[in-house]
Amino acid sequence: MTSIGKLAHVRTSTTFSPLTGFPEFPSDWVTGSASHPYEFLQFQPPAAGQTAPVELTTDVVILGSGCGAGVVANKLAAEFGASLNVLVLEKGRHFDASHFPMSPAAGLASLFEAGGVIEVDDGSMTVVAGSCFGGGGTVNWSAALQTQDFVRQEWADRGLPFFGEGGGFQACLDRVYEKMGCKGEVVVPNYANRVLLDGAKELGLQAKIVPQNVRGQKHDCGYCTMGCWKGEKMGPVNGWFPEAAEAGVKFAEGFKVERVLFEQKKQTKVAKGVEGVWTSKEGVEVKVVVRAKRVVVSCGTLWSPVVLMNSGLKVSVPDLAACRATLTACTEPPDRKEPVPAPDQLCLGCL
Ligand SMILES: Cc1cc2nc3c(=O)[nH]c(=O)nc-3n(C[C@H](O)[C@H](O)[C@H](O)COP(=O)(O)OP(=O)(O)OC[C@H]3O[C@@H](n4cnc5c(N)ncnc54)[C@H](O)[C@@H]3O)c2cc1C
């Protein structure tokens, strides 16, 4: 509890900015950026006395709106266009680029799972996850690292040869890289990342600069995690969903899926839709059942297993433990100037 309290306090304290020299908002912020003008489904509560859920039918329902969901929705739209009805359900809310970057207090509450701080019981590890339209793709740091060889090999060894050498996964990554604009100008590392690079060199370790998914833009304002105010981070909201929306893919925000529904077909359980609760911005809750021929579960590492278990499926422990570790290093430049120049704000580097 103490460490949760400290974390929450540090991230929302009004003294944080003056003490660290880290301005709450980018000094070069200008108004004007906007996201694609998304429209979200609205559901009417049933008439008084009616308890049956609202029902709708689609071909494919995608649970979650994060990085995985973005790619799937875009690919389905590109392949099938308006001939396939696709619906994306997201429990978080959409915020247009003009709302970004949010203050740490507002951003953590509105864009992240559990207000931004999920601590393991002994306080040794904090898990962060996006929970808004775009999921982690809205709050991540735009570092576009391709899945490393040893991870792909592990997946191949577990019976998924597609991810192993020559299995076809590399071609998929290359297409994603191209589409997300990860091949632009070389990123200029901030002070802390320069320390990491120099340190690695001294130690004889291999270290490289990771590209960003920003279509070659100079992207160093340092506020990615509170939402991209320039709208140039090519995650789901700016990169994958706009084309999908134009091709007819539908979206619902504030829709928490509770379980996947199944029907028995011969010896096999086949997904036939989902049920969940949609909450209007005014707080009115509506129970909804979505009937679908295909169900894609893309609720992220934290919630996909939970949704599947709530649906009566068995999920193994290794699947639950598939989180990616990040270590952060904070440094203070010996010649630190006030105010801290934008790219060196906080001087945070990541490993
Ligand atoms: C702060 C931060 C920085 C990061 N930086 C980087 C980086 O620089 N580079 C990088 O490669 N990766 C980074 N990541 C990781 C990357 O963002 C994730 O790996 C990626 O978003 C995972 O995609 P996903 O589709 O599996 O899940 P997510 O993007 O997490 O999306 C899951 C979505 O499902 C929704 N959801 C969950 N349960 C339900 C439900 N029951 N009903 C409806 N919706 C539900 C969630 O609200 C969420 O929006 C970062 C992550 C964070 C949190």
pLDDT tens, residue by residue, 228-242? 999 999 999 999 999
Could you give the CA distance from residue 337 to residue 182 in angstroms, rounded to a whole number? 32
Instruction: Check pocket membership of 142 for ligand 1, CB cut-off 6 A.
Output: yes
pLDDT tens, residue by residue, 46-88? 888 888 999 999 999 999 999 999 999 999 999 999 999 999 9
Instruction: Check pocket membership of 298 for ligand 1, CB cut-off 6 A.
Output: yes
Distances (CA, A) of 239 to 50, 73, 215, 234: 41, 11, 10, 4
Instruction: Check pocket membership of 299 for ligand 1, CB cut-off 6 A.
Output: yes
Q: Which residue's CA is the nearest one to ligand 1's atom 52?
A: 140
Assigned CATH for 29-142+219-317: 3.50.50.60
133 CA → ligand 1 middle, Å: 10
Nearest by Cα to 163 from 150, 176, 181, 175 = 150
208 CA → ligand 1 middle, Å: 24
Instruction: Check pocket membership of 63 for ligand 1, CB cut-off 6 A.
Output: yes
Could you give the CA distance from residue 307 to residue 299 in angstroms, rounded to a whole number? 8
Confidence check: pLDDT of 350 > 80: no
Q: For residue 299, give every residue at least 6 positions away whose Cβ sits within 8 Å of its Cβ, in sequence order, or none.
A: 63, 64, 66, 257, 306, 307
Instruction: Check pocket membership of 225 for ligand 1, CB cut-off 6 A.
Output: yes
The model scores a pTM over 0.85:
yes
Burial of 66 (0-12, 13-18, 19+ CB in 10 A): buried
14 CA → ligand 1 middle, Å: 28
232 CB neighbour count, 10 Å cutoff: 20
Give 325's pLDDT tier (boundaries 50, 70, 90): confident
Q: Is the separation of the CB atoms in 99 and 134 below 8 Å? A: no
Give the type of residue at 17. Answer: S
Residue to mutate, 141, 241, 251, 350, ligand 1, most ligand atoms under 8 Å from C-beta? 141
Give 164 or 29, the one with higher predicted confidence.
Answer: 164
Instruction: Check pocket membership of 130 for ligand 1, CB cut-off 6 A.
Output: yes
pLDDT at site 10? 72
Give 327's pLDDT tier (boundaries 50, 70, 90): confident
Instruction: Check pocket membership of 139 for ligand 1, CB cut-off 6 A.
Output: yes
198 CA → ligand 1 middle, Å: 31
202 CA → ligand 1 middle, Å: 34
122 CA → ligand 1 middle, Å: 24
126 CA → ligand 1 middle, Å: 15
Could you give the CA distance from residue 101 to residue 116 in angstroms, rounded to a whole number? 15
Give 337's pLDDT tier (boundaries 50, 70, 90): low
Confidence check: pLDDT of 114 > 80: yes
